[in-house]
Amino acid sequence: MPRRATIRRIPVVDDLGLLVGIATADDLMGLLSDHLYELSLLIRQQSRREEDLRGEDL
């Protein structure tokens, strides 16, 4: 079975197509991790808010 090529780095270019950096798979994973953490905080905050509102209805 042939081995699949994996892409670990991609060029980052500006509007003119000039290279401004290289993004790595680790960069993207770190960014995704940060966003998922922020999302988990928002979900937790919203859940607490909903619990408080339910308590007021009783």
0.85 exceeded by the pTM? no
In a domain, 43, yes or no: yes
In a domain, 14, yes or no: no
CA 58 and chain centroid, separation: 38
Close Cβ partners of 8 (under 8 Å, ≥ 6 residues apart) = 24, 25
Mean pLDDT by 10 residues, the chain (58 residues): 84 98 96 97 95 79
In a domain, 12, yes or no: no
**Domain extent at residue 34:** 24-58
In a domain, 10, yes or no: no
Place of tokens 């991790």: 33
Q: Tell me whether strands 19-24 and 9-13 are parallel, antiparallel or unpaired.
A: antiparallel
Q: DSSP H helical segments within 3-57, as ranges?
A: 25-57
pLDDT given at position 56: 73
- The answer to whether the beta carbons of residues 32 and 23 sit under 8 Å apart is no
In a domain, 37, yes or no: yes
In a domain, 28, yes or no: yes
In a domain, 35, yes or no: yes
In a domain, 8, yes or no: no
pLDDT given at position 15: 98
* Number of structural domains found in the chain: 1
